[in-house]
Amino acid sequence: MKTMKGPGLFLAQFAGNTAPFNTWAGITRWAAECGYLGVQVPSGDARLMDLGLAASSRSYCEDLLAQAGGIVITELSSHTQGQLVAVHPAYDEAFDAFAAPQVRGNPAARAEWAVDQVKKTISASANLGLKAMATFSGSLAWPYVYPWPQRPPGLIEAAFDELARRWHPILDHAESCGIDVCFEIHPGEDLHDGATFEMFLDRVNHHPRAKMLYDPSHYVLQGLDYLANLDIYADRIGMFHVKDAEFNPTGRQGVYGGYQPWVDRAGRFRSPGDGQVDFRAVFSKLTAQGFDGWAVVEWECALKHPEDGAREGARFVKDHIIRVTPHAFDDFAAAGTDAQANRRMLGLDR
């Protein structure tokens, strides 16, 4: 067992163009004031870091940490870049906004740029002394998740073969850097549940650096057993997002939400503690399993103001982290170790 680290905060939903959210020093100072000890940083946000410098210069990384005023970096995130490693043509125009201007409108160049960005994020993670990177897998098969007409034989297999082909060299680079690649298991990605994660693992030869980012909110909205998931994949869970959700189906809508805005959907994200996730059970399982990482709040809520959610989230995580006991509760009754007495108690010396 291990005591989890935290609270941490994912900065992607907070970085902006106004102070204090538009500079590295400002946003980390604000996070510390909210009660956070660490931040998870989107590597593609130039307001927070220069990815090229972080990937090539340890002195730059040291300066970045020094400017954070005591806040540590829990992990880097390459979610948006990882998404662009594999994009189905149906989403080309929408996802072009995630890419550098010079590769927009050119899917092959965009994918090449994305792979380079993810590899740089891995290198930067190593220069920062981190152990893991968060990302998305991207998706080639997602338009066919609930198909009509039915999928032709071999379509999904071909998609996952190609996904693995693109990611395997990235995972090998992660191995050389000592960094785990933690895929957020997320609808919209080809890796959106345990079954798809296993399909991917099979194709990358169960690469030791292929891990999961566990976020129970995405499982609530799928109707997936998020506690059993922890038992099944304990050895592959490398990262943890503390995000809540609720699923309240009606006679008019269910999992798919009827194209309604988030606030009107049967399934919607909520701030930690405001939804249906049993976080006491989640923290208990992760602690018992020896999860050696951070509890990182990812604020996404259809109702609550983000700054209120951030402040409440820090307190929520603090209240849920379990400080591991150094001894058993019944040690007070221990009588010491005596091999001969043990044999007598078992009736073996009669």
Q: How confident is the model at residue 221 (pLDDT cuts 50, 70, 90)?
A: very high
| Tens digit of each residue's pLDDT (9 = 90 or more) over 121-137 | 999 999 999 999 999 99
Tell me the C-alpha distance between 121 and 137, whole Å. 15
Predicted pLDDT at 332 = 67
Helix 155-177 vs helix 107-127: crossing angle, to nearest 10 = 30
Lowest mean pLDDT: which of 29-33, 210-214, 260-264, 334-338? 334-338
Q: Under DSSP, is residue 210 helix (H, G, I), strand (E, B) or coil?
A: strand
User: What pLDDT, on the 0 to 100 scale, is given for residue 337?
Assistant: 77
Whether the CB-CB separation of 275 and 223 falls below 8 Å is answered with no
| Whole-number Cα distances in Å, 324 to 45, 110, 283, 302, 334 | 36, 46, 12, 34, 20
State mean pLDDT over 303-322. 98
Phi then psi for residue 237, to 5 deg, are -85, 115
Task: State which H helix or E strand residue 179 sits in.
Answer: none
Q: Please report, as a single letter, which amino acid is at residue 128.
A: L
Closest CA to 322 of 264, 266, 283: 283
User: Which range, of 165-174, 215-224, 259-268, 334-343, averages the lowest pLDDT?
Assistant: 334-343
Q: Cβ distance 23 to 46 under 8 Å? A: no
Strand locations in the chain (E): 5-10, 38-42, 72-78, 132-135, 180-184, 210-214, 237-242, 244-247, 267-270, 294-297
Chain segment 252-264, per-residue pLDDT in tens: 999 999 999 999 9
Gap between the Cα atoms of 334 and 97, Å rounded? 64
Residue closest to 30 by CA, chosen among 19, 42, 46, 41 = 19
Confidence of residue 341 (pLDDT cuts 50, 70, 90): confident
Nearest to 277 by CA among 221, 239, 332: 221
The CATH T-level fold of domain 5-345 is TIM Barrel (3.20.20)
Residue with tokens 């410098």: 53
Per-residue model confidence (pLDDT) at position 201:
98
Give residue 114's pLDDT band: very low, low, confident or very high (50, 70, 90): very high
CA distance 145 to 194: 14
What is the per-residue DSSP string for 223-272?
A: T--HHHHHHHSGGGEEEEEE-EEEE---SS--TTGGG--GGGSSEEEE-T
The two tokens of residue 141 are 């098969």
Instruction: Work out the percent of the chain whose per-residue pLDDT is above 90.
Output: 93
